[in-house]
């Protein structure tokens, strides 16, 4: 049965118009972007299969375009639509943070840093400076390096934190290779930065490593 033949209250578009986007499941939202299904499956069925094989939703959406194109049911147009939808959401969130919005959870900070740093041809180390309410009061790219790394100086981060009168800091850097797994050097630098910031009573909240997929939070790993 085609989606057009479903009861109106069950169709994704009608559900969205009646109850808002929050009323839809991940599969239904994804189906709206896909627009149609593959042979033998409607858009919702195709979306459910994609989530079952490549999900959860965040993992699917964060795949690079080349990988999306290899998934059955996602061609060039749909891959572009998915990446465009994710980019719109990221830019909306970035605009909110840059207007002084609060960082309320680790994923929001990770997405912000990914928006800024992902895809760079060389390693870039950046910092988000927060006030006591964890609102963003500054963002700076502090160090740049090669495809293999960037030298990080704790004294520079401390000086910039004092300049912004920050109460807390979130740092991040990208791995141009696309592999976001933190290295032993990344972990060591994190501890040096944490100790240096503690001397001026500034808290290091997290250190994110940005690659092709989901940003890796060192705080979640217990390394901050």
Tell me, what's the pLDDT at 221? 94
Which range is least confidently modeled, 70-74, 166-170, 196-200? Answer: 70-74
CB-based contact 217:108 (threshold 8 Å): no
Tell me, what's the pLDDT at 29? 92
Is pLDDT of 129 > 90?
Answer: yes
Ranges of H-type helices in the chain: 12-19, 26-34, 43-54, 57-61, 65-68, 76-98, 106-117, 154-163, 184-198
Confidence of residue 7 (pLDDT cuts 50, 70, 90): confident
Whole-number mean pLDDT of the chain? 88
Compare 4 and 136 and report the one with higher pLDDT: 136
Q: Is the peptide bond before 56 cis (omega within 30 degrees of 0)?
A: yes
Closest CA to 222 of 182, 165, 173: 182
pLDDT tens for each residue of 9-25: 788 999 999 999 899 89
Cβ atoms within 10 Å, residue 25: 15
CB-based contact 201:164 (threshold 8 Å): no
Q: Would the pTM of this model clear 0.75, i.e. be above it?
A: no
Out of 44-48, 108-112, 115-119, 167-171, the most confident range is: 167-171
89-120 CB burial, b ≥16 within 10 A, e <16? ebeeebeebeeebebeebebbbbbbbbbbbeb
pLDDT tens for each residue of 50-96: 999 998 887 788 788 888 999 998 999 999 999 888 878 777 776 77
Looking only at the bridges linking them, the beta strands covering 136-144 and 168-174 are: unpaired
């Amino acid at each position: 049965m085609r989606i057009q033949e479903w009861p109106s209250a069950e169709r994704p578009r009608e559900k969205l118009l009646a109850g808002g986007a929050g009323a839809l499941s991940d599969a239904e939202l994804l189906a709206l972007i896909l627009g149609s299904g593959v042979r033998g499956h409607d858009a919702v069925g195709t979306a459910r299969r994609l989530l079952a094989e490549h999900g959860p939703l965040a993992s699917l959406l964060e795949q690079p375009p080349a990988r999306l194109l290899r998934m059955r049911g996602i061609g060039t147009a749909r891959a572009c639509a998915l990446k465009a939808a994710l980019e719109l959401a990221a830019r909306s969130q970035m605009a909110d943070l840059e207007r002084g919005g609060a960082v309320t959870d680790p994923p929001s900070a990770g997405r912000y840093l990914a928006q800024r740093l992902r895809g760079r041809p060389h390693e870039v180390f950046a910092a988000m400076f927060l006030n006591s309410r964890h609102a963003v009061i500054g963002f700076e790219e502090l160090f740049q390096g090669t495809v293999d790394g960037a030298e990080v100086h704790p004294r520079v981060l401390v000086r910039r934190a004092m300049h912004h009168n920050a109460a807390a800091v979130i740092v991040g850097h990208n791995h141009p290779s696309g592999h976001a797994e933190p290295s032993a050097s990344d972990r060591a630098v994190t501890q040096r930065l944490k100790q240096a910031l503690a001397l001026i009573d500034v808290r290091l909240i997290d250190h994110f490593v940005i690659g092709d997929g989901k940003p890796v939070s060192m705080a979640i790993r217990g390394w901050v």
